[in-house]
Every structure is written in C-alpha cells, then in structure tokens.
Homo-oligomer: A and B are copies of this chain.
Amino acid sequence: MNEEIKVGGHISRQFDEELEEIRARVLKMGGLVEAQLDKALHALREDSSEQIVDVEKLDRKVNKLEMLIDEECTQILAKRQPAAGDLRLIIATSKSVRDLERIGDEAERVATMVRHALDNDASNKSFKGLLSLGEHVKELLHATLNTYARMDSRSAVLNMRMDQHIDEEYSRVVVRLVNLMKKDSDNISDALDVMWAARSLERIGDHCINICENVIYLVEGEDVRHTAFDRIKERLG
C-alpha cells in the first residue's frame, strides 16, 4: 500500500503542496519537542537550571504549532475531501500532533522536577539514575520521528520493542527509588520528584508508540491499537 501514502502526485499541485507543508510542519514540531526533551535532560545531567526556561518557551511554540497543524488538517478535510491514503494521512497526522504536544508537556514536567530539586538545594544524585532512561527515551523519540518522516511501518514495530525495554528500565528505577525512601525518610520528597520525572519519561515512550501505531495505520491501513506486540510483529515485523 506504500504508493498510496506517497505525498505528491495529485492532479492538484496545490493539494500536493498543502500535504507536504503539513508534513514539514509536523517534523518541525517534532524537532522542537526533541529540543525540549534534550534541554530537560541537560538540566538533569548538569545540575543546571540554565536551559529550563527554554523548555517552557519551546512549549508555547509547540502548542501553537499543534493548533495550527490541526486547523490545517481540518481545512484540508473541508476543502479537498481527501480519500484513501490522503485521508489516512490527515487522520494519522492530526492524532500524532496531539501526542507530540503531550511529549512536550512531559518534557516540561521533567524540567520542573529538576528545577524543584535545585531550588530545594536537594542533592539530585538520584536524578542521575534517570539519565540512562532519559537517553533511551530520547533515542525512541528520534527513531519515532524518523518513522513518521519515512512513513516506515517496519521501524514502527522496532520502536515498540524499544519501548518495552524502556518500560522495564522504568520499573527498575521505581524499585530503586522505593528502597531509597525506605532506607531514609529524609529522602522521601526528593525521591518522589525523581519518581514523577521517571514517570514522565516513561509516558513519553507511550506517546511515541501511539505515533508509531498511527504510522502503521497510515501505511498498512490497519488499526493496531489494543493489539498485542507479538501479533503486530508477526504481521508486520
């Protein structure tokens, strides 16, 4: 079905351009969201609040892009009445944009937790335990944006596997934090901040997988939400 979702080749050249513009905007939005996560992880790694304000500034840009792209999708539905692959592209894009915006929100939550820890002069040694999780989530986000850019359903399946590892890593982080809290009640507030940040990172992984599911729907015409990973892999992997 790949040829169906190729952007371009419509009788109306203007329609081609409109679709291409939307795709380019989604990727631009993806780049901004990646920068948000990157800056949040930088704050975490360097014990520095320096870039946290950028995460918030970027969030306003991301929110505006979400609404703009959504409005463009609605305009295309109204004006062009797309069918088949074009229609799926618009639907999948509109959904993915929402997930991207949520990823930005979660990155902002991570940044807020780091700022909170820095304000409290807390030893954020335990934040360091998130760095590996954060890097893996960053890789997954990058891979997901590539999956969307190339409309590649096979890489979407690989990303799902990555997310399974992220979920396991997240569980280990939580166990470690609970033990830390039990050992010394002075650690409780700080460890909770770290736990919320870990949760946000794990949620970013989930949103990436939503985007991957949208790409699979787009390319294969199949709705794989609520389908076990093994079954998806069997059919597409």
Contact = CB atoms under 8 A, between A and B. Distances in A.
Interface of A: 63-64, 66-67, 70-71, 74, 77-78, 81, 83-84, 87-88, 91, 94-95, 98, 178, 181-182, 185, 188-189, 192, 223, 225-226
Per assembly, the copies of the chain total 2
A23 to B, nearest CB: 19
Contacts of A88: 74
B67 A225 contact: yes
12 contacts: A64-B226, A66-B225, A70-B223, A74-B87, A74-B91, A81-B81, A91-B94, A95-B98, A182-B185, A182-B188, A185-B185, A188-B188
Nearest to A79: B83
Across chains A and B, which 8 residue pairs bring their CB atoms closest together, nearest first? A81-B81, A63-B226, A182-B185, A181-B188, A67-B223, A182-B188, A185-B185, A78-B83
Q: Is the interface of A mostly helix, strand, loop or mixed?
A: helix
Name, among A63, A66, A71, A91, the residue most crowded by chain B CB atoms within 10 Å (CB to CB). Answer: A91
